[in-house]
Structure 1
Amino acid sequence: MSNRTILIVDDDQKIRTLLKTYLEKNQYEVLLAHDGASFLAEFERNRDSISLCILDVMLPDTEGFALCQSVRRRSDVPVIMLTASAEETDRIVGLELGADDYIGKPFNPRELLARIKAIHRRAGHERGQTPRYFRFNGFVLDILERSLIDPDGVSSALSGMDFQLLKLLVEHPGEVLDRSRLAEVTRGRDLGPLDRSLDVQVSRLRQRLQDDGKQPALIKTVRGSGYVFSTTVSTGHAL
């Protein structure tokens, strides 16, 4: 997959034009959509070449949240949400639905570009990682396919940030990983003092791992520090 094709949906023509001009100057190919229907049509036509989607939350015919869900049912392509709302709830909802990052309006195009580059950089590094499989508590994380195989043998795709978080945890079992390091790996930046998105992400991952949120046995909270993956992990190149 190319790391240079971005599909953007926003009902504001000025924003679409601004982003297309700015990103093309930085050697990206840009596809544009003005509403949910045109976005889904573009996504289906170009699914194999799109490396990242940028979704506005508020659209005339739907919400960006619904589009994010639709993308996640079809692909693990990274997603950045654009929101004009100052409410943290909007950001949390986007992350819960599988978005990889979010940015508030108005935004600096340079910051958006930095986020795009960080996501592409992380995604580009995944293919070269060895070993391929990490096994723990009956689960298997497949690094190449970015998927999680549960104890019943059922495989499911992981969103970008969920994959990055679980990958970091299984690579460092028994090691306390502080919040700033987790944020840097999953988001490419530090968390603000009131930003609870990492905690939401950990909670979602615990559910995927059937880890009791009240008394977790796998991803344990280290108060005042971060989290620790408290189990034995084995690795291999074949299932």
Structure 2
Amino acid sequence: MTDAPLIAILDDEPEIRRLLSAALEEAGFRTIGFARATEFEAALRRIQPDACLIDLGLPDRDGLALVHRLASESGAAIIIISGRAQVQDRVTGLELGADDYIIKPFEPAEVVARIRARLRKPQRDAGPGRQQVRFAGWSADFDRYTLTSPEGAETPISHAEAEVLRLFLDNPRRLISRAQMLETLGGTAGESFDRAMDVRISRLRTKLGEDPKNPRLIKTIYGAGYIFLAELG
């Protein structure tokens, strides 16, 4: 079990933490629970969870601000669990870097399935050496969730950004439609998914030093999708 993925659960309701821990551990995951954001953030100095389940209604911290920080600094998959059911809440959470959004009340089996889907995606077709990919002078490290520029400058990327970049790198010089993104990356079709993809691609372009008016690597084909133009290797 020491190699089992570690799932961090941040929710101030003990019963929800217990319910999620029981379901996840039965499914073969390791879990660690926290009631407050301060405890969770302190623990991140010594642990590296593979996925984080984050409740937005925290007693000591704004949950969305925490999600944004995790997306910027951590390679963990981030799944929001919240009673906020409005479309705008889901859109905002995904735009800030969450990989998924689950509305309370939920079925524990659904949470387990969503985590499995999120953790499975970055390992897609990862043969020997495929966790580090070079393209157009850049290097993407999917173990460390970093991008290294041709000049050697290193920039962290979030789990969500890594999923999109991996999809492009697996399909260079091919049109990637929204439907293919939805099928490959998972999610629910609609405005929240489309907005989340737009934000992730915009962040990738920024980290790749792209000119937003004339990007060289990630081209938008309006009404159709995107094409990744870089040569690999």
**TM-score (ref. length: structure 2):** 0.84
2:155 and 2:207 in contact (8 A); partners too: no
The answer as to whether partners of 1:4 and 1:28 remain within 8 angstroms in 2 is yes
Which of 140-149 and 126-135 deviates more?
Answer: 126-135
Residue of structure 1 equivalent to 2:165:
166
Query: Greater shift after overlay, 120-129 or 51-60?
Result: 120-129
* Deviations 1:91-139 (CA, angstroms, capped at 9, x unpaired): 3443444333222223232221111001222244475354532222x43
Unpaired segments ≥5 residues, structure 2: none
Percent identity of paired positions between Structure 1 and Structure 2: 34
Spell out the pairing of 1:1-40 with structure 2 (5 A cutoff): 2-40=3-41
Q: Which amino acid is 1:52 matched to? A: A
Shift in alpha-carbon separation, 1:41–1:145, aligned structure 2, 3 A: closer
Cα RMSD (Å): 2.6
Q: How does 1:124-135 map to 2 (within 5 A)?
A: 124-125=123-124, 128-131=127-130, 132-135=132-135
- CA distance in 2 between counterparts of 1:194 and 1:96 reads 8
Measure, in 2, the Cα distance between the counterparts of 1:79 and 1:139: 26
Q: In structure 2, what is the Cα distance between the partners aligned to 1:116 and 1:167? A: 18
Q: Which residue of 2 aligns with 1:120?
A: 119
Per-residue deviation, 1:72: 4.9
Q: Which residue of 2 aligns with 1:234?
A: 232
Distance 1:215 1:13 in 2: 50
Does structure 1 conserve the Cα–Cα contact (< 8 Å) formed by 2:122 and 2:166? no
TM-aligned CA deviation for residue 54 of structure 1: 0.8
* CA distance in 2 between partners of 1:69 and 1:193 (Å): 20
What is the deviation of 1:162?
0.7
Stretch moving more, 75-84 or 27-36: 75-84
- Inter-partner Cα distance in structure 1 for 2:51 and 2:43: 13
How many residues are treated as equivalent by the alignment?
230
Q: 5+ unaligned residues in a row in structure 1: which ranges?
A: none
2:71 and 2:78 in contact (8 A); partners too: no
Which residue of 2 is the match for residue 182 of structure 1? 181
> Structure 1's 194 and 145: CA in aligned 2 closer, same or farther, altered over 3 A?
closer
- Show the counterpart of 2:217: 218
Structure-2 separation of matches of 1:2 and 1:113: 17
The 8 Å contact of residues 7 and 53 in structure 2, kept in 1 or not, is answered as yes
Match for residue 44 of structure 2?
Answer: 43
Contact 2:74 / 2:159 at 8 angstroms: preserved in 1?
A: no
Is the partner of 1:119 in helix, strand or coil?
A: helix
Structure 2 distance, partners of 1:207, 1:158, is 11
TM-score normalised to the size of structure 1? 0.82
In the alignment, residue 53 of structure 1 is paired with which amino acid? C
Report the Cα distance in structure 1 between the residues aligned to 2:53 and 2:18, rounded to whole angstroms.
Answer: 14
Amino acid at match of 1:208: K
What CA distance in whole angstroms lies between the structure 2 residues aligned with 1:71 and 1:193? 23
